[in-house]
Structure 1
Amino acid sequence: MEQMLEKQYDFVVVGGGLGGICAAIAAARGGIRTALVHNRPVLGGNASSEMRMHICGADHHMSRPDARETGILEEILLENKRRNPEMIYPIFDAVLWEKVHYQEKLELYLNTQMTDVVCDGEKITAICAEQLTTEKKFYIKANMFLDGTGDGVLGAKAGAEYRIGREAKRQYNEELAPEEGDHCTMGNSLMFSARDMGHPVPFVKPFWANTYTEEQLKFRDHSDVTSGYWWIELGGGEKRTIEDAELLRDELLKAVYGVWDHIKNGGSHGAGCMELEWVGFLPGKRESRRLIGDYVLTEHDCLGEQNFPDTVAYGGWPMDIHTVEGFLNEEDDPTVWNKVNGIYPIPYRCLYSSNIKNLFLGGRAISCTHVAFSSTRVMATCAVAGQAAGVAAAIALKKGCTPSGVLEFIDELQQELLKQDCYLPGVRNTDPKDLARTMKVSASDQTEGCPPENVVNGTARSEGGASNCWRASIEGKPVITLTAEQPMLVKQIRLTLDSNLSREITPSINRAVLKRQEMNPPSELIRNYTVEFFLNGNSVKRLSRESMGQRLQIIGLEDEIRCDSVSIRAESTYGSPLACIFEIRLYAGEECGK
């Protein structure tokens, strides 16, 4: 038998979609040795160059103000916006790879397929994996694991409880559920993109492609001929999204080329000069297994009917329930958009297995019903839930407890997530280690409704009509100052700037989605600023900084500075006439964290 290379970590994440990426980075930044095992050559899952789906979330394509997800996802997307303004997908692949590959305490295994799971009773002890490019086989041990595979493969192999299909209406009293439960799931989609060549381009239909008429496509909008259609969807009924994945890929190729033939050769669609630029060969999968945690999120929770003491993430995408059999169902709308009431909280109890004691749940396989899943499955929601699980893993390792045991430290988990610029509905910054919370705040200038005191009010984004920020005209290079009653030692400053959480910043192949974005970093962001420390009215240190297009600014100092006031002067923005800061935090040396 070929010998396996044995590896040991604190935490292993299997699956490198956005949920897995954010979980792995968060855990590593929390100080624990982490591995991310991914079976594809690029990271990002449905958001990668292999599938090219835009990253949807609670803002529902800018229809809900101030709802965009922040945290590690925001950090990644803002970096991509700065470095990749044309939104080229292979460049986004590199941004994701860089974030993971160069993260301290995080080791990345690409092209590595998990082949088996080793358990000791109700705990996972190791996974077996094979790296296809190097022909190496690994035996990877860890204290805790996270299933970010999308299909719940790790959990299923470990014996975790899971479900496939739709629950009956009576099981959770869900109005949107069918009368009787079944195995039906939403299907897989294959995307394409096209470009205008500036001259007529013919299209020769492959002999194997399908043929479609305008009547067959009457419920499926195909007026935008530049990008793929999510409604080219198959599977989830007679054909299963896992077991029949290869067959579904073949049938989806026939459908994509058939739809393109209809656009080019089946009537007037304004596509005479258009040419297929890219067609995916890896379908994006919506639904398969859903792993079960200590709480199952339901339709009622998505409607905001319950608050949770263990809120660690949020959703807000509509309950977007696709028709059974997808594209095969020509006489039905491809989806029904069931609105949710604003954003809704997601409890921590949805993020770990109910019966495998050291397994976290991530990505689209978190604990929820089919109806709730139709909202939580989108990638931005997966990302913030993944970050919550990663931070929880770091806490569990340090406390010596299981994932469920972190419930005893839920306040610590929530406060750490807020510190990392994650938004939690109903939870405010009460961090006793944040020196700024007790300081007096003043400013040289302000706009109406945006006083300087807002930067310490505990909420780092606009919410419910409240600005929760300090704003002032950038023309005068305004200054905001925090003053303490007694001298203090400061080792780190955290600023939360304005990156306009009402506007999309996602990569996309859809021209309409890209057109409504700014090409460069959000104009509302402060670009250059200075930080100055004072003691008894005298300046003791002055720093000049560039935000590098990031919302969260973490300024670490080599040595603690003794001071009694700190000032931040906004020097310039990326285009806005107003400077804006949502939150200022100050920490002493031992309280800085990662």
Structure 2
Amino acid sequence: MRSLPLSLVSPLTFAFAYLVSLTWCNAEELRCDVLVYGATPGGIAAALAAADDGENVILVEPTERIGGLVTCGLSHTDYHAYDGLTGSFLQFSKRVEAYYVKKYGPDSQQVKDSWRGTFGEPHVNLLIFKQMLAERKNIRVVTNAELLRCEVKPLHLIDPQAPLGPPKIIECQFDQGLAESLAIRAEMFIDASYEGDLMAMAGAEYRVGREARDEYGESLAPEQADDQLQAYNFRFIMTQAAENRVTPLAPPGYNADDFLPIVEVLKSGKIKSIFGYPNDCIFKAQLPPLPNSKHDINDVSKSAIRLSLPGINRAWPNGDRETRAKIFAEHRRDQEGLLYFLQNDERVPAKFRDEARTWGWCKDEFESTGHLPPQLYVREARRMVGLYVFRQSDCENAPGDARAKLFTDAIAMGEYGNNCHGTAHEGPRFGGKHTGDFYHATPPYQIPYGVIVPTEGDNLLVPVAASATHVGFCALRLEPIWMSMGEAAGHAAHFARKEKGDTRDPAIISQVQARLHATGAATIYFSDVLPGDADFAAAQWLGTAGGFHGLHPQPAKVRGASIVGQYSESYPGHTADLDQPLDEKLAVKWNEIAEVRQIDVAKLPRADGKLTRREWLRAAYKLRTPPKP
């Protein structure tokens, strides 16, 4: 079923969704504390966090392969400054780097090309995720289990003594292709699927499409709301290394005439090469390369020939299995067929055809699916309407400040900026142009807790199909950020279950923040106080309270100096400068923050021209009342 433009599911649906799920077929039944649906990187991070808090977790993946796009082609991680990576993604990338060090040696080209472990080959990324999950004996992973239905009941129907309150998910049922389905009962549920399938089935409110510009005051939004969403494509992994190269074949349904118009575009001079970086090509071979002479292949922004196919994907978010399979097949026919045409059709100019033939699939990747990624790059699908809707202004500079808007309830941070590969296409398939695309640089930004919490329901968290406008989601939709939000969701599920309370309880936030900071996950960006620093948790605590906002003016250029490709040095104006003397003006501000947090200011050291920021911070952090563990 396709949604109407900007599909809105009423909150009342959540309260009555259980009525459609009273008839259950025979099912094997499992029980756990926390059920995570979707073994995307965000889902894996959620499962790891909840398990580390002592919860018994079942991680359910509808496909055969865990890891989402990080194990299915998106190996060229989307971030700008390395010091913006923290928490579970940083732990994951360090383990990827350690794998290459152990296998090839610390000075090897593979270690260098792993780019500190953020550029892992798909099969290596898969191995590391599997190892991380296997180390937690309280995580059970279930694959090939597609969500069938959810049992949802208003709280007073579960407990007659309970007051009228929000609905609660009781059980989810999954199809494993067996005679009996699998039913899992849990106390807390986390939807970490790219599509938000559990969220939607449970009746949570969501949207599909783009908001009008005036609704949230977003300059990047269209004038009128519509049902357009960001285009999809495959993230192929390819190589020119002859010893590991597999020759591409024609996909099912291939018709050479479909691609004939590309010849005129090639002759026009708009395309300089078939593979290249960053533009004037058809297949973007991301730089730097991956280890072992591989390349992550992506759509070329603003090119005359694009891999992404806007419009074809509009039925995907609300589509059933057959609908999504049809859209998947159409993307494969188009993108694999395009490559086959360029490599083999005699009508393609020889210089382009010869160049294209030097590329092929990787023999040691995706062996069970013909060396093609088994998942499509779903950049955007459903987006929950939660307690807070993340928007364009939330990741832009606060007035006159190097930093973005302050969120004292932040549970994650990001730094990639709003990035959309287009939502529609004008003109012919080859030679036309995408519309709705934008590439908006921003400073690092905080992500508030309400982005992962639905407005109704007390035991559901949604860290991937999170609450955001189309424009806002285009800043959140990166795997490191999704892992950060998933990590926060895992901890939040633990604290909500432990207190037998509602995930919407504000008291949970400080507990989640303290847990994140203690494990090296950031809720605000610093370029000079990184995970592993003795004062990391303290700086995060004070920074998330607003202690470092307003210290540096907005710089002329948001990002640091370029390193290579999309990667850059640290963001300017985001230092804590803890060894600088604490001046009187800043001391007043910090003392006010301390007083609000019920710290006895009289016990804090005074700014005397010699006292450093670090000394004050350590004293205040020691005097604070920590949240319950």
Q: Secondary structure at the match of 2:534?
A: helix
Of residues 229, 241, 251 in structure 1, which corresponds to 2:298?
Answer: 229
* Alignment correspondent of 1:353: 454
Distance in 1, matches of 2:82 and 2:361, equals 35
Question: C-alpha offsets along residues 283-334 of structure 1, whole Å, 9 cap, x if unaligned?
Answer: 2211111011110000010214421120110122121122223694843257
* TM-score, scaled relative to structure 2: 0.64
Instruction: Write the mapping of 1:155-554 to structure 2, written as runs, cut at 5 A.
Output: 155-196=199-240, 198=242, 207-208=254-255, 210-211=258-259, 212-213=262-263, 215=265, 218=271, 221-222=281-282, 227-230=296-299, 231-236=306-311, 239-242=314-317, 243=319, 244-261=323-340, 263-265=342-344, 266-267=348-349, 268-269=351-352, 270-277=355-362, 278-305=371-398, 306-325=405-424, 328=429, 330-332=431-433, 336-363=437-464, 365-405=465-505, 407-425=506-524, 455-456=534-535, 458-459=538-539
CA shift, 1:126, in A, is 0.7
CA shift, 1:136, in A, is 4.8
CA shift, 1:409, in A, is 3.6
Distance in 2, matches of 1:454 and 1:227, equals 33
Amino acid at match of 1:213: V
Distance in 2, matches of 1:181 and 1:368, equals 15
Distance 1:204 1:8, change over 3 A: closer
* TM-score, scaled relative to structure 1: 0.67
Distance 1:146 1:329, change over 3 A: farther
Distance in 2, matches of 1:336 and 1:5, equals 46
Question: C-alpha offsets along residues 123-155 of structure 1, whole Å, 9 cap, x if unaligned?
Answer: 1111011333x6552221111111111111111
Number of matched pairs: 447
Structure number having the greater strand percentage: 1
CA shift, 1:204, in A, is 7.1
Question: C-alpha offsets along residues 357-398 of structure 1, whole Å, 9 cap, x if unaligned?
Answer: 2110122x1100000111101111100011011111111112
Q: Secondary structure at the match of 2:136?
A: coil
Of residues 91, 107, 119 in structure 2, which corresponds to 1:75?
Answer: 91
Distance in 2, matches of 1:304 and 1:136, equals 54
Q: Secondary structure at the match of 2:298?
A: coil
Q: Secondary structure at the match of 1:300?
A: helix
Give 5+ residue unaligned stretches, structure 2.
1-23, 102-109, 111-119, 155-166, 272-278, 286-294, 300-305, 363-370, 399-404, 549-559, 569-617
- Asked if the contact 1:249/1:281 (under 8 Å) is kept, the reply is no
Distance 1:246 1:358, change over 3 A: same
Distance in 2, matches of 1:223 and 1:253, equals 15
Distance in 1, matches of 2:412 and 2:567, equals 29
Of residues 137, 143, 146 in structure 1, which corresponds to 2:190?
Answer: 146
- Asked if the contact 2:524/2:540 (under 8 Å) is kept, the reply is no
Distance 1:239 1:156, change over 3 A: closer
CA shift, 1:106, in A, is 1.6
Distance in 1, matches of 2:314 and 2:461, equals 29
Distance in 2, matches of 1:173 and 1:515, equals 30
Distance in 1, matches of 2:182 and 2:316, equals 28
* Alignment correspondent of 2:596: none
* Alignment correspondent of 1:92: 125
- Asked if the contact 2:75/2:121 (under 8 Å) is kept, the reply is no
* Alignment correspondent of 2:292: none
Distance in 1, matches of 2:476 and 2:227, equals 19
Distance 1:203 1:152, change over 3 A: closer
CA shift, 1:335, in A, is 7.3
Q: Secondary structure at the match of 2:517?
A: helix
CA shift, 1:159, in A, is 0.8
CA shift, 1:341, in A, is 2.6
* Alignment correspondent of 2:75: 54
Distance in 2, matches of 1:397 and 1:224, equals 46
CA RMSD of aligned residues (A): 3.8
Moved over 6 A (4+): 199-204, 501-504, 512-516
* Alignment correspondent of 1:578: none
Amino acid at match of 2:153: D
Q: Secondary structure at the match of 1:22?
A: helix
Q: Secondary structure at the match of 2:263?
A: coil
- Asked if the contact 2:147/2:174 (under 8 Å) is kept, the reply is yes
Amino acid at match of 1:109: V
Amino acid at match of 1:293: G
Q: Secondary structure at the match of 2:169?
A: strand
Distance 1:503 1:106, change over 3 A: farther
Distance in 1, matches of 2:378 and 2:35, equals 23
Question: C-alpha offsets along residues 99-119 of structure 1, whole Å, 9 cap, x if unaligned?
Answer: 123313222111111211001
- Asked if the contact 1:164/1:183 (under 8 Å) is kept, the reply is yes
* Alignment correspondent of 1:545: none
